[in-house]
Amino acid sequence: MILLDRVTKTYNKDLGAALDRISLHVEPNEFVIVVGQSGAGKTTLMRLLTREERPTSGKIIVGGVDYDKLKDKDIPLLRRKIGVVYQDFKLLPRKNVFENVAYALEIVGMGRREIQHTVPRVLEIVNLKGKEKQMPIELSGGERQRVAIARAIARQPKILIADEPTGNLDPKYAWDIIRVLEKINRYGTTVLLTTHNQEVVNKLKRRVVTIKHGKVVSDRANAGYEE
């Protein structure tokens, strides 16, 4: 589902590579946690996967799309296939909860009736039923993040990338988010989660890939957190 082959990203030659020959293979329906301290290269990895940035060298194939062959005008099509959840939520501030989720569907040209039908169902998955009319600013951090997740999964992507989704949240809200991600994974979506929350990693017991100074230092199944 996700294949990285010796991927290197260098922003500034003097500072060295942000990612140094990273290779990673994620099977369909896997739940993979990428851990590492700030600056280890987690976010760079995410930005490469959403094609916000190009790798300096190496090969990336996601959901059968070879990034080397991807034209600029086809980037939107790629992004529609991947659901992404960010640490800072990235909700549209002038749209309410319903409209934020609906926007992801409007982009792909879904009809109004279908949107009216889909959005409430997705909001139910993330336990936000009844909050449709609220504006992002009226919600708690955990609720905002669940709106973002609802938006990411509304198009039923095969892959969900969550970049530090709990980073800005209180621990009690953080668990809501993790549970939602597990639920989505059970429904058949590949999940790639980056975090540096030790408790989350230890409780989940999933495949853990540890990145340090831009390199994969360990890759173990059913693992706990280690530095």
Partner 1 sequence: MKRKAITFKRIVWTGVTNFLRNASLAVAAVTVMVVTLTIILFSVVTSATMNHTIAQISSKINISIYLRDSVTTAQSNNLIDELKNLPEVKSVNYVSKSQALAEYEAENSGNKSLLAAINETGNPLPASVQINLVNPSHIDQIQKVLGLSSTIQLEDPQAGTSYSGDRKAAIDQIAHATNILEQVGFAAVIVFALVSVLIIFNTIQMAIFNRRDEIQIMRLLGASTSYIRGPFIVESIIYGLLSALISVALIDLLFVVASSALQASSFGLLDINYAHNYFYSNFLLLLTLQLTLGIVIGAVSSMIATRRYLRFKSK
Burial of 14 (0-12, 13-18, 19+ CB in 10 A): exposed
The site for partner 1, by CB under 8 A, has a size of 29
Nearest to 50 by CA among 76, 32, 29, 12: 76
Single residue of 4, 60, 84, 178 touching partner 1 by CB under 8 A? 84
The angle, 0 to 180 degrees and rounded to 10, between the axes of the packed helices 112-125 and 141-153 is: 130
Nearer to partner 1, 50 or 168 (CB): 50
**Least Å distance between CB 72 and partner 1?**
6
221 binds partner 1 (CB under 8 A): no
Q: What is the dihedral of CA 116, 120, 125, 131, to 10 degrees?
A: 140
Q: How far is Cα 103 from Cα 134, in angstroms, rounded to an integer?
A: 15
One residue of 91, 123, 153, 191 binding partner 1 per CB under 8 A? 91
Would you give the binding string for partner 1 spanning residues 128-167, x where CB under 8 A is met? -----------------------x----------------
**Binder to partner 1 among 6, 25, 39, 52 (CB under 8 A)?**
52
Which one, 77 or 217, has the nearer CB to partner 1? 77
Q: Which of these ranges, 69-77, 123-131, 172-180, 206-214, lies near partner 1 under the rule CB under 8 A?
A: 69-77
Three-state DSSP state, 215: strand
Which structure tokens are listed for 197?
């929350």
User: Could you tell me the smallest distance in angstroms from the CB atom of residue 113 to partner 1?
Assistant: 11
| 73 is a contact residue toward partner 1 (CB under 8 A) | yes
SS3 135: coil
Measure the CA–CA gap between 144 and 116, rounded to whole angstroms: 20
Residues of this chain that interact with partner 1 (CB under 8 A) are: 50-54, 72-73, 75-80, 84, 90-94, 103-104, 106-112, 151
